[in-house]
Amino acid sequence: MESSFTLMLLQIETVGPEGYKLIWVFLTLGLMVLVTWAVVRKKWHSRFWLKSIKVEALKNKVYHPETIILSVTNKQTKSIVIESVSLVFKGFKNKRSFVITRVGGKKIYPLFLEGIKKHTIVLALVPFYSKFPELEKMARLRIEVNIEKGRIYRSRFLLLKPTLFRSNR
């Protein structure tokens, strides 16, 4: 009786998943997680922040620009109050920020911007470079706009000069 039972146990094989099938299952699950994360993130950003206020910064030359054109577009129907605008220069380790309060000798901030309107100013970088020579070593520039509710909207970084790792393509 025992010998037949041991023979029966020896005939039973445990069947597990094969290696390549297990890899495909994990890859499929990972891909599904990435796709749902990207869709949720895009809908969340477009619904709340990207549609309401848009901050853009344009430069007049590819490298070593002399002027920056700042434009703030209010895409919502409600009006907003722009408290201040900051220029943020960023190097490898250093970061320097300047708050813009006057343009052309006139105080313009806080600025009331009505719904579906655009605010544009031209900022010269030469006065910053002449007063603070260390800014010429910094490679990137970003514009930050502070709104009355405490929110900060930022533009993309502008590349002011080519670096070892990045260049304008």
Which amino acid is located at 49 in the chain? W
State how far the Cα of 165 lies from the Cα of 115, in Å rounded to an integer. Answer: 40
| pLDDT confidence of residue 71 | 93
Exposed / middle / buried, residue 87 (Cβ in 10 Å: 0-12, 13-18, 19+)? buried
Cα distance between the two ends of the chain: 80
What pLDDT does residue 102 have?
A: 85
Tell me, what's the pLDDT at 12?
A: 63
With residue 159 as reference, give the H or E element that holds it: strand 158-159
7-27 per-position pLDDT tens digit: 665 666 666 667 778 888 899
Residues 47-58: tens digit of each pLDDT: 554 458 889 999
pLDDT of residue 61: 84
* Predicted pLDDT at 145: 93
The fold adopted by the segment(s) 53-159 is Immunoglobulin-like (2.60.40)
pTM score, whole prediction: 0.66
Report the pLDDT value the prediction gives residue 6, as an integer from 0 to 100.
63
Residue ranges in the chain modelled with pLDDT below 70:
1-17, 43-51, 164-169
Q: Give the per-residue pLDDT at 37.
A: 87
